[in-house]
Amino acid sequence: MSTLNVTRGPDLRRMSEDVRASAHGGWVERCARLGFTAQGVVYTLIGTLALQLALGESGGRTTDARGALERIAEQPFGVFLLALLTVGLVSFVAWRWVQAILDPEHEGTDGKALVKRAGWFISGAIYAGLAVSAVHRILGREDSGGHSARSWTAKLLSQPLGQVLVAIVGGIVIGYAVKELHSAYTKRFSRKLDLQRLTTRHSDTVIQLCRFGLAARGGVFLLMGGFLLSAALHSDAREAKGLGEALATLARQPHGAVLLGIAAAGLLAYALYLFIVARYLRIGRAT
């Protein structure tokens, strides 16, 4: 047992060093860039469908990431497109879990860093579930349907202290939304982007579009967190809403087409932000 413990530490350190060495220009960086690109494709489709609905065009609807996969599967060569997207999603999962476990960007192990790394691990788990859904569609299998906000909220509410658990999740979602809004306001995200090759004018335009995208997504997530808190308060899973349902709620408000159009444009700007991150993110270098 002691020998195993002695060898495990150096092996893990060696693995971490190898990953950090490949974080800039190696397979780790390729996974990150491919993963952010796949995310951008998903949000492009979500935003496009919502914008079509806001403009009254046929085929428009409010949906989430799994709905976007469904729409891709309906297209010509849909299976091939889904397979490509699945590769990107798996790459994103790999990147997030490498970030969380092996810390290639030297975040450290203090409290703030551990919270951030835990968030990365959860993000990877969420996209792992999305990748599994994509594989199910490629194989022609029905998705389980247990991924909606309403279904998993109902499962949590059925547990001991279920209302507390749902309230905690709602608080986490709101905290994440506030973080996105703060990043948009302060332009903090730009510190991790290498935009030196762009002209000042183009760089400023890119940053402003990214700010709009982050703010729009943060606003939608703030709405989702509020619905979760309401579900916890009333112990009613029907009040929980995911991304697609939150967009649908906007559409039902007075001037709903305008509100939905703004949110859709913001999600398209967020997709652009993800493409910008895929291209210009500093990975494995000091920021």
DSSP-assigned letters across all residues of 267-279: HHHHHHHHHHHHH
pLDDT computed for residue 202 by the predictor: 92
Q: Is residue 277 part of a domain?
A: no
174 Cβ partners below 8 Å, 6+ apart?
Answer: 221, 222, 225, 226, 229
Burial 213-229 (b: 16+ CB within 10 A, else e): bbbbbbbbbbbbbbbbb
CB atoms near residue 123 (< 10 Å): 18
How many domains is the chain built from? Answer: 1
Q: Is residue 118 part of a domain?
A: yes
Query: With 60 as the cut, is the pLDDT of residue 211 above it?
Result: yes
- Amino acid identity of residue 235, one-letter, is S
Q: Is residue 22 part of a domain?
A: yes
Mean pLDDT of 106-130: 88
Q: Is residue 33 part of a domain?
A: yes
For residue range 145-157, list pLDDT tens digits in order.
556 788 889 999 9
Q: Is residue 55 part of a domain?
A: yes
Q: Is residue 256 part of a domain?
A: no
For residue range 250-280, list pLDDT tens digits in order.
999 999 999 999 999 999 999 999 999 999 9
Please, which pLDDT band fits residue 7 given cuts at 50, 70 and 90? Answer: very low
Q: Is the pTM of this model over 0.75?
A: yes
CA 155 to chain centre: 23
Q: Which domain holds residue 68?
A: 1-145
Q: Is residue 82 part of a domain?
A: yes
DSSP string, 145-174: STTSHHHHHHHHHTSTTHHHHHHHHHHHHH
Cα–Cα distance measured from residue 198 to residue 187, given in angstroms and rounded to the nearest whole number: 17
Q: Is residue 26 part of a domain?
A: yes
pLDDT computed for residue 141 by the predictor: 77
**Residue 198 corresponds to which tokens in the numbers above?**
């762009």
Cα–Cα distance measured from residue 251 to residue 246, given in angstroms and rounded to the nearest whole number: 9
Which residues share a beta bridge with 281?
Answer: 193
